[in-house]
Amino acid sequence: MTRQIRWAAAFCLLLTVLLLLNAARIQLVQSATYDDNPANRRKDIARYAQPRGDIFVDGRPVTGSKDTGEQLRYERTYKNGPLYAPVTGYASQVYGSTFLENTEDRILSGTSPLLSPLPLIGDLTRELEPGGQVHTTIVPQMQRAAYEGLGGKQGAVAAIEPATGRILALVSTPSYDPELLSGNGIRAARDWSRLNSAASKPMLNRAIRQTYPPGSAFKVVTAAAALDAGVIGDVDAPTKSPDPYRLPGTSTSLGNEVEGCENASLRYAFTWSCNTVFARLGVEVGLGSMAGTAQRFGFNTRGLRIPSPVATSTFDTSMDQPQLALSSIGQYDTRATPLQMAMVASAVASGGDIKAPYLVDRTADSSGDTVGLTQPRSLRQAFNPRTAALLREMMVEVVEKGTGRNAAIPGAVVGGKTGTAQHGFGNTGLPYAWFISWAQAQDSATPAVAVAVVVEDASAVRDDISGGGSAAPIARAVMEAGLVRAAEREPQGWQQQQPEGWQQQPQGWQREQNGWPGARGRR
């Protein structure tokens, strides 16, 4: 009898060991498979069982959470959703998340080990910490100036602080309210379908995910290449450029929309945007040098993140001479995001040094204690300081007496470059209007802001679309807000010596509506 009991006990022990091994296999080896199984709702239930952490702009949350009382308890809410949608993205219980809601999800959802005082214990217990905070670099006054400036037009604005790379404004219009997608009901599904099928593509972040032909705004890059390569030694010397200019090896002639471009100097050609001069310069500089300069500016550089991924801006590296001529004036298949073109303007403003753009200033736990901090860093030197000084001079002349006069701001030094980019089959599409610029208070040591604006309004009259007419006033409004911000940070600076026509308001110094300088003109 004792022998049978021993066998039975041994068999029970074996079964117990096998049971424990199987439980360990499921818990440790196959846990991820069960966690990620669509039929398993535990993960989703736990994820939405507590309020999500918030995204902040200028110390104030622009997101929130509401208790629905349902199984997936908390839904995301947004303050001024359409204004900040290109920054926050959406966090949906059905459709996932985008932009900061996606890249900073672990902080916002409370799953980041940075939020836990004892990360290893947290991994074992799988208890969520309260959602953390994401503090952005966005300046609300600049964001609103860009959004209101674009109005109902299709377009985008990107603004950068040249000295640091901080993204001060990131706007894409038309926009949408991310809160429409937060829930999991029929209404969210209808809004998802409507937004995705809209011809205006309101969910497309045009500032960082859409590329456009940059048109004449790209002439900043071509001028830098010509100066750095020594093709141009004197910006005031004639360039021996014909008008019209016949593209090499073809019977196609390229003309200008302004007088005086024949044999014009680089300074005149830049100020008045002579296509013939820059097309010829691009060919003379050569494909290798043009492509190298474009790459130093950030073209053809993959993997840029802010932390959301940015579409790659491109400059073709295998072209014949006619294609190179067109690419040198921002046509053919040269394409850029608004953020990339803001980086071009920022490089000129900062002496050729391109800073890495970033959108998150710091991350914090639920009590506001910092757990992560972004440090400014340089990506590369795009061109030499002498070239930068000459480009600054020419960009200032564009605003003071050339095609960009609508961007002038009394009491500040403003440099800019207009662009009108043709596109579509046979250039039949409505041109895109570009303006890239930077602004610096007269008594400040460094520029306060660099801006890129693109307007692609399909409802506009073709002759009314131009960088100087459509985009420059928007850039001016954003730069004004940026100068006010800089003055508030430096009380002894520009704010105390406000130009005539500015009056003090509770928010700071604001320009009167009448009497803006600059004639309107198409370029």
Instruction: List the catalytic residues.
Output: 216
Whether the CB-CB separation of 435 and 488 falls below 8 Å is answered with no
Whether the CB-CB separation of 206 and 454 falls below 8 Å is answered with yes
Angle between helices 275-285 and 219-229 (to 10 degrees): 50
DSSP H or E stretch at residue 346: helix 338-349
Q: Judging by beta carbons within 10 Å of its beta carbon (0-12, 13-18, 19+), is residue 263 exposed, middle or buried?
A: middle
- The verdict on whether omega for the bond into residue 174 sits within 30 degrees of 0, i.e. cis, is yes
Tokens standing for residue 181: 């997608």
Q: Buried b vs exposed e over 360-394: b needs ≥16 C-beta within 10 Å? A: bbbbbbeeeeeebebeeeebeebbeeebbebbbeb
CA distances from 107 to 36, 53, 112, 210, 488 (A): 20, 7, 5, 27, 31
Instruction: Provide the 3-class DSSP secondary structure of residue 424.
Output: coil
Whether the CB-CB separation of 502 and 512 falls below 8 Å is answered with yes
Closest CA to 422 of 413, 431, 414: 431
Strand locations in 5-89, DSSP E? 55-57, 60-61, 63-67, 74-78
Amino acid present at 172:
S
Strand locations in 93-195, DSSP E? 96-97, 133-136, 155-160, 167-173
Instruction: Provide the 3-class DSSP secondary structure of residue 330.
Output: coil
DSSP state of 142: H
Instruction: Provide the 3-class DSSP secondary structure of residue 260.
Output: coil
Whether the CB-CB separation of 448 and 483 falls below 8 Å is answered with yes
Total length of the chain: 523
Tokens standing for residue 214: 């940059």
Pairing of strands 133-136, 55-57: parallel
Tokens standing for residue 285: 């500089």
Tell me the three-class secondary structure of 477-493, residue by residue: HHHHHHHHHHHHHCCCC
Closest CA to 159 of 307, 337, 343, 335: 343
At residue 505, φ and ψ (nearest 5 deg) are -125, 170
**H-helix segments, 110-155:** 119-125, 140-150
